[in-house]
Amino acid sequence: MNSVEFNELLNFNPLDPRLQQAAARDSPPGAELEVKRALAFERKLRSALEVEPPAGLADEILAKSAQLASPVRSRRAWMAMAASVSLGALATGWGIRREQASAFAGQSELQLACVDHLTHEPFLLARQTEVPDALVRRAFQERGVVLGDSVGPVHYSYPCPVGPYRALHLVVQAQHGPVTLLYLQNALDYDARGFRERGVQGRLVPLRQGSLVMMAQTDMDFDPIEMRYRKAIDGTV
């Protein structure tokens, strides 16, 4: 190996076994020392990269996978239902057309669009890890809301469009199962109303600068969530 090849390996792939051969022969001259230094750095680099995974991570994942595999679990049934609605929506192209619409003709169209949005990614309902409060606050801020109180535990947060509205898509693991929330910025022309669309229980909550839509298999967790979000977003209960 000439010095050009040696330097190339040392720079771009310091763990290449050919370098150790070069070091053993000390060819090119100085190779032994250079490889020794490079390997010492690589050991430190590896140590630095090898952060400790959270305790029980594998068990947690296995437990969750087992839950998903069980056909009798209500959460599984709910997710399957969400997936099937999603397939139906995709089959008709309804969801995509609806999200590209420039405006909703009325409240029921908004509700349908929200149900469609929920069903795009049903696996999100399985999320268990909490999103840090700071990230939730920032996400709301990007939607024009400075939260007062915390909205409580959030397990998924992502800024999405819902029709003409800039929305924030949240998932909350509540007492009776996952609840999907859509905060729709500047959606001001809608009334407080409970609804049921394609097996999804929903509730629309008008707020000062937008609307909050809650969707789940059951509405049993809606009251406490509505109270928390009203307080955090509007400062009222």
Q: Contact, 111 vs 162, CB < 8 A? A: no
φ/ψ (deg, to 5) at 170: -125, 150
The angle at the Cα of 107, spanning 221 to 231, to the nearest 5 degrees, equals 40
> Total binding residues for other proteins by CB under 8 A?
50
Give the CB-side neighbour count of residue 221, counting CA atoms within 13 A: 18
From the list 91-99, 105-113, 123-131, 171-179, the region that binds other proteins by CB under 8 A is 123-131
Q: Cβ 165 to other proteins, closest distance in Å?
A: 18
Residues of span 37-96 touching other proteins by CB under 8 A:
37-38, 41-54, 57-58, 60-62, 64-65, 68-69
Question: Please, which residue, 11 or 175, has the CB nearer to other proteins?
Answer: 11
Residue type, 115: V
Residues of span 199-218 touching other proteins by CB under 8 A:
none
Spatial neighbors of 233 by CB under 8 A, at least 6 apart, are 140, 145, 147, 148, 151, 183, 207, 208, 209, 212
Among the listed residues 127, 166, 228, 230, the single contact to other proteins using CB under 8 A: 127
Q: Contact, 125 vs 78, CB < 8 A? A: yes
User: Does residue 31 interact with other proteins by CB under 8 A?
Assistant: yes
Q: Contact, 33 vs 24, CB < 8 A? A: no
Site string for other proteins, 140-179 (x = CB under 8 A): ------------------xx--------------------
Total residue length of the chain: 237
Question: Please, which residue, 24 or 135, has the CB nearer to other proteins?
Answer: 135
Q: What distance in Å separates the CA atoms of residue 67 and residue 119, rounded to the nearest whole number?
A: 20
Question: Please, which residue, 69 or 237, has the CB nearer to other proteins?
Answer: 69
Q: What distance in Å separates the CA atoms of residue 197 and residue 200, rounded to the nearest whole number?
A: 5
Question: Please, which residue, 9 or 216, has the CB nearer to other proteins?
Answer: 9
Question: Please, which residue, 61 or 227, has the CB nearer to other proteins?
Answer: 61
Q: What distance in Å separates the CA atoms of residue 31 and residue 107, rounded to the nearest whole number?
A: 74
Among the listed residues 1, 3, 107, 164, the single contact to other proteins using CB under 8 A: 3
Residues that bind other proteins (CB under 8 A): 3, 6-7, 10-14, 28, 30-31, 34, 37-38, 41-54, 57-58, 60-62, 64-65, 68-69, 123, 126-132, 135, 138-139, 158-159
